[in-house]
Structure 1
Amino acid sequence: MKGKIALMVEDNEHVLALNRSVLEREGCTVLPAGNLAGARRALAEHPNLDIVVLDILLPDGNGLAFIPELRETTPAPVLMLTSKRDYGDMVKGLTGGADDYMTKPYRVEELLARMVALLHRRDAAREGALLTRGALALDMVAQRAFLHGEDMLLKPREFAALCYLMQHEGEGIPAERLYETVWKLPMGGSAGAVKTTVSRLRKKLEGSGYAITSGWGGGYCFEREQ
């Protein structure tokens, strides 16, 4: 856990203090949050954290319902740690985006072991998970893009759009197809969202040697600059 950053969302001050103490002894930096509002603040300040430990019953909301919002911000693995022992809750957690589920009471040694296992699984998945074109590199697991080694600070949908276009290099991708792939919704009258995202990507790709061009009929093509 040395050098890792963990967000711990837990409203029980005793549990939070105990977990924080154990993790910090292992060299982990802990971002404590007693509610969802605190979790959002921590995510805004530390978007590149490594792992999230999340309770379900929180003063200002439900941890399970927070997972989709969490996934929009970070690809870090999520471990649910809760007093809710119902089998249905566990299923909801694991099918709703959580990577693991622990119930209270528990042993801190098990918590640490599960966190280490999730981090090892993530790191193993990262090996060979780079999509590169010249000085441009996309980390497919962390969902971060780098240009000349510098983080491009792409938003999740910008990353998804760039990734899809790079995977179809040289192919004209209709706006509707790009929208349905990235937003996972029928485009309808939302073509403006695609144009805005592509416009931002074009600016961020300057100096990469690659560009997103527009073809006849409104399609977009990722290709090497001439």
Structure 2
Amino acid sequence: MQFAFRRPSGTTSSAHLLRLTIIVLCLLAAAACGGSDDSQTTSETGTPTGPAPPRTTFPMPPVNNSGTTAAANAQSFTLLDNRRTRLSDYQGQVVVLDFYATWCGPCRIETPHLVELHRRYAAKGLRIIGLNVGGPQDREQVPAYVEEFRIPYMLGYPDPAMTQLYLSDDDRIPQAFIFDRKGRLVKRFISYDDSMPAELERIVQQSLDAPAD
């Protein structure tokens, strides 16, 4: 964890130095208690810069059991053309639900990989759906985002209940959820690191090639 303090201007009194020292010690103590071994150093844009372990093996979210999988499949979202749809409408296809924002640095790194993934596997039954969670003002930026990255896959906006179900335990973005042809959650990716594109493609290939049961 990084801490930054603005350097005070002028002469610093002993009392002020003492206060600063106390603040630093409190913050360090809080970091020692609340930090985790797998936290990673990030740049100002949110792009991982340190050698921390990748986040792609994060445990499955609450939507991985049979009861909540049904709820996850029933959650609605609105596509850019204002059509209402839900995950259950795409059973029979492998679905990647990607939660993103146009201002999110790691999302912008991830997007070209999703575009390429769509190009390679859409004809084989892959459906990628990007869901914007950047807020009302960010929705105005989506058309320019589509143009910038030449996004061929579907984009939309999740209902609040859907956002709550999928992201309530960890709201970092981007997040990608991969569902098999029966609508079952196969994998969840939280945030972005260099290993993510290859691992995502491996999971997609595996899900596309899996025999129907």
Indicate whether the TM-score tops 0.5: no
Which TM-score applies when normalising by structure 1? 0.27
Structure number with higher strand proportion:
1
Which TM-score applies when normalising by structure 2? 0.28
Q: Tell which has more relative contact order, 1 or 2 (C-alpha 8 A, sep 6+).
A: 2
